[in-house]
Structure 1
Amino acid sequence: MKKAIFSPMIAAFLVLIILVTIPNQWIESMIPKDRVAQAATELDPIMFQGKYIQQAMLDDNSYLPMYGSSELARLDKFHPSNYFQETKAPFTPFLVGRGGTESLIHLLNFSEHIDQLKGKKIVFVLSPQWFQRKGTDESHFVPNYSSLQGYDFAFNQNINPKVKRKAIKRLLRFTPVNSDPILSTLYKAEITNDPWTKGKAMAVRPIALAYKNLLEKKDLYYSLVGSTPASREMSRGVKDKSWNQLESLANEEGSGLSTNNKFYISNYQYNKIKKLVPSLKGGKKHMTYGTGPEYRDFQLVLDLLKESGAKPLFISVPCNGYWYDYTGFPKEGRIAYYNRIRNQVLKMGFPIADFSKHEYDPYFLKDTIHIGWKGWVYTDRAIQDFYKGVKNPNDEVIWPH
C-alpha cells in the first residue's frame, strides 16, 4: 500500500528534477521558430511578464516594439498591427502591454532588456488616465507585476544606481515586492547603509539567484508550450490608400458604429456604461491629470531609455473631450497633462506625437479613453515617418530642438 502511495510522488519529484536540470540552451532549441511572430499580436500576459520572447524579438530587427496598455488590444483595420502588415512595411509591430501596464511595470520590463535597447527604435503609447493624483495602485500594479523582472532588477548592474534607488523606493510600496522577504531584503540593502540589512542581503543573495534562475527556466517552458493564438480581426481594406483616404474611411466606419450616443463612442462600448451615464454627469469637477507620482515614475522610464541609447517615439493620446466635459472633468486638468508630458519627453531629447488637439475630433477615439479608427490612422502615419526618419514640420510629431 505504501509503495502505491509514494510511487507517484517519487515519480513526480524525479520529473521535476529532470525539468529543472535540463540546460536552458536545450529548451531554447526546442522553442518553435514562429513563437515570436505568434506573440506579436497575441497580447499574452505570460509574454509580458517573461523574458525569452521579448529578448528574441529585440534581437530581430524586423520587429518594431510597441509598448502601451489597454489601447493595444483595440485591434481594427486601422490598428498598426493590421495596417503595416497589409501595406507590406519592412517591420512588424510587436505589442507589449495590457490594461494597467503603467510606468513602473514598463520600467521593470525595459530594465530587463537594457543591453538590447541601444539604437533600437520603439513606440511608447501614453494614456492620460495613468496620471491619477495618487499614481498607480495595487489593482493595476499587482496583475502586471513580474517576479522574474523584479528579481532581475535586483541583480541588474547595468542600471544607473540613482535611477535604481529611486525605483526601488517606489516598488517597495507595493505588496508583491514588500511582502517578498527575499526580494525586499535585496531591495532595502540597495537604499540603506545599515550593516544589518546589507548582511541579510548577502546571506539571501544565493537563494535569490537560484530562484531567479528557476523563474527564467519557467519562462522558457512557457515559451516552449506557448498559448492558444487569439483570433484577431485583420482586413485588407487599408491597402493602397492615401492618408486622406484612410481618414475618410475611418470617419465612415466610426460613424456607422457610433450611432446611439452623443459622445462618439462605439455602440458596443457605450452599451456597457449606458445605465451608469446619468449618474456620472458632473462627477469629476475636481479631477486633474496634471499632478501626481506617475510623472516621477515616468521620468524613471525616460532616464532608463536615455541611458540605454534607445530611440523611442512617444504617442500622446487625447481624452474624449465630449465625454470628459459631460463628467465635469476640468479642461485645465487635461491641458496641464498634455503640456507637462510633452515638455517632459522633449526635455529628454525624444520626439512625441502630440494628439492633444484631437479631443473633440469625432472617431479619433473608440470610447471614453481608448484610441481607435481615425486615431490609429494618425498613429500609423506618425510611426511610419518615425521609422523612416522623416521630420515633417507639418506633421504632429514634435521633435526636440
Structure 2
Amino acid sequence: MKLKWLLPLLISGILFGLFLLIPVDWFTSLSKRQNIHEEATSLNDSVLKGIHSQEEMLRSNRYYPIFGSSELEKQDIFHPAHILKDKNSKLKPYLIGKGGSTDLIHAINVASQAQNLEGKKVGIIISPQWFTNHGLTNDNFDARYSPLQVDRLFKNPAISSELKDRFAQRLLEFKQLKSDNYLNSAVKKDNNTYEEGTFMNDFQNRIYEKHDALKSIFGREQSVIPKYTPRHIGEMDWTGMKRYDSQYGAKHSSSNEFGMNDQYWSLLNQQRKRYNRSYEFNAHSKEFDDLQLLIDALKEAKADPLFMVIPANGKWYDHINVDKNKREVVYKKINNIITSNNMKLYDITDKEYESYVINDAVHIGWKGWVYLDEQMLNHINDRFKQKTLNRKID
C-alpha cells in the first residue's frame, strides 16, 4: 500500500528536480514566432503578465502593441484586430490588457521591457473612468500585476534609479507588498543605489521564468477576437466606414436612447438597480500619478507611443448624475499631462455625446473604434497628426 502513494510522490519529486535543473534558455528557445503570432489577439496571462512572449514580439519588428483594458476583449467588427488587418497594416496588432489593466499595470510592463522598446511604435488607450476616488484597488492590483515583470523592472539598466525609486514607493502602497524587504530597503537608501535583482531571489526567478516560458508554449488560448469580419467593411475608405458604423450602431441600439448596444441594455435593466458611478472622475485620483509613471517609463525606454483618450457615454453619465463639469475637469487634466510631456495624443473626449462612439456605458465601440483605427494606422505609417483639443487646466 505504501508503494502506491510513494511511487507517484517519487516521480513528482524527480520531475520537479529536473524542472529546476534544466536551464531557462532551454524553455525560452521553444517560444518562437508561431506562438507569438497566435498569442497576438489571445489576451492571455502569458501576454499580460509574462516576459518571454513580449520579448519575442518586440524583437520581430512585425507587431504594433496596443495597451488597453476591457475594451480590447469586446466583440466588435470594427476592432483594430480586424480593421488594421483589412487595411493591410505593415504591423500586426498585439493586444496587451484586460479589464482592470490601468496605468500602473502598463507602466510596470513597459519598464520591464524598456530595453526592447527603443523606437517602437505602441498604442495606449486611456479610459477616464480609471480616475476614481480610490485609484487602482488592492484586489485589482493583485489580480493583474506580474512579480516577474516587477523583478525585471528593477534589474533593467534602461530604467533610471530615480524612476525605480518612484516605482518602489508606489508599490509599497499595496498591502501585498508593503512589507517587502527589497522595496523598503530601496526607498530608504539615501543615494538611490540599488542592489539589482533582489525583488526575487534567484530560485524564485528561475521558477517564474520557466513557468512563463511553458505557458507561452503550452498554455496558448484561442483568440477572444473572432477572425471573421465582413469583407466589404475592410474595402471601405474611412469616411464610408464611419457612415456604415453609424448605420450599424443604430441597428444594434434600437432599444434605448443612450446608444448602448441592445444586449448590454437588456442586462443593465435586469439588474434592477441604479447604476452608480459617482466614485469615478476624481480630479485628485492616484491614477494621475500612475499615468505619469507610465509616461516616464516610455520616455526612458525611448519608445514612440500614441496615447488615445476615450470619453464616457455622455448621455448615460448625465442620466446617472455624474456631473458633466466633473468629467470635463478629468478630461482636461489627462490631456494636459500627456501634452505637457510632449507625447503624441489623439483625444476624442469631445465626442462623449456623439452617437455610437461608446457602445455601452464606458467601452469604445463601433464608430469610436473606427476613429482610433484610422489614427493607429496613421501612427504606424508616420502620418499621425496631433489631436489634443487644446485643453488647458484653468
Q: Is the 8 A contact 2:72 2:97 kept in 1?
A: yes
Partners of 1:2 and 1:359 in 2: how far apart? 69
1:220 corresponds to 2:213: yes
Unaligned 5+ runs, structure 1: none
Give the superposition deviation at 1:5: 3.1
CA distance in 2, matches of 1:77, 1:224: 29
2:250 corresponding residue in structure 1 = 255
Matched residue SS, 1:217 = helix
The residue number in structure 1 matching 2:182 is: 186
Note the C-alpha offset of 1:284: 5.6
Give runs of aligned pairs for residues 38-187 of structure 1, distance below 5 A. Answer: 38-178=38-178, 184-187=180-183
- Quick check: 1:254–1:266 contact (8 Å CA) kept in 2? yes
2:302 match: 309
Amino acid at match of 1:63: Y
Alignment CA distance shift 1:73-1:206 (3 Å): closer
Instruction: Find the counterpart in structure 2 of residue 27 from structure 1.
Output: 27
Letter of the 2:288 partner, please give it.
Y
Partner of 2:233, secondary structure, is: coil
1:191-206 superposed matches below 5 A: 191-193=187-189, 205=198
Q: Is 1:366 matched with 2:362?
A: no
* Deviates further, 227-236 or 256-265: 227-236
Structure 2 counterpart SS, 1:381: helix
How far 1:45 moved relative to its partner? Answer: 2.2
User: Residue by residue, what CA displacement relative to the aligned partner does 1:321-362 show, whole Å, maximum 9, x if unpaired?
Assistant: 000000111111111111111111111111110101111111
> Which runs of 5 or more residues in structure 2 are unaligned?
none
- CA shift for structure 1 position 142: 1.5
1:107-157 CA distances to partner (integer Å, 9 max, x unpaired)?
111111010111111000000111112211123211101121223234334
Instruction: Give the distance between the partners of 1:58 and 1:276, measured in 2 at CA.
Output: 43
Aligned equivalent of 1:246: 241
How far off its partner does 1:271 sit?
1.3
Structure 1 residue 99: deviation in Å?
0.5
Residue 286 of structure 1 and its aligned partner are, at CA, apart by 7.9
Displacement of 1:92 in angstroms is 0.5
Alignment-derived partner of residue 5 in structure 1 = 5
From 334, 345, 350, give the equivalent of 2:327: 334
TM-score w.r.t. structure 2 length?
Answer: 0.91
Conserved? CA contact 1:151–1:208, under 8 Å: no
The answer to whether the 8 A contact 1:351-1:398 is kept is no
Q: Distance in 2 between matches of 1:266 and 1:373?
A: 10
Between structures 1 and 2, the one with greater helix share: 1
- Specify the SS of the correspondent of 1:371: coil
Corresponding letter in the other structure for 2:296: D
Give the drift of 1:193: 3.9
Distance 1:362 1:398, change over 3 A: closer
Q: 1:290 is paired with a residue of what secondary structure? A: coil
The C-alpha deviation readout for 1:186-207, integer Å capped at 9, x for no partner, is 111101149xxx9xx98x9497
Structure 2 match to 1:349: 342
Query: Contact conserved, 2:128 with 2:281, CA < 8 A, in 1?
Result: no
Give the partner amino acid of 1:55: E
Q: Secondary structure at the match of 1:59?
A: helix
Of 263-272 and 139-148, more deviation after overlay is shown by: 139-148
Give the letter for the 1:191 counterpart. Answer: V
- Equivalent position SS for 2:201: helix
Match of 1:296 in 2: 289
**What amino acid is aligned across from residue 396 of structure 1 in structure 2?**
K
CA distance in 1, matches of 2:278, 2:186: 42
Q: Aligned partner of 1:138: which letter?
A: N
Partner of residue 377 from structure 2, selected from 356, 380, 384: 384
C-alpha distance in 2 between matches for 1:231 and 1:216: 25
* Percent of residue pairs bearing the same amino acid type: 28
SS in structure 1 opposite 2:13? helix
Residue 85 of structure 1 aligns to a residue in which SS?
helix
Change in 2 beyond 3 A, CA 1:284/1:122: closer
Does 2:244 correspond to 1:265? no
Structure 2 SS opposite 1:124: strand
TM-score, normalised relative to structure 1: 0.90
Q: How many residues align?
A: 387
Change (3 A) 1:175 1:86: same
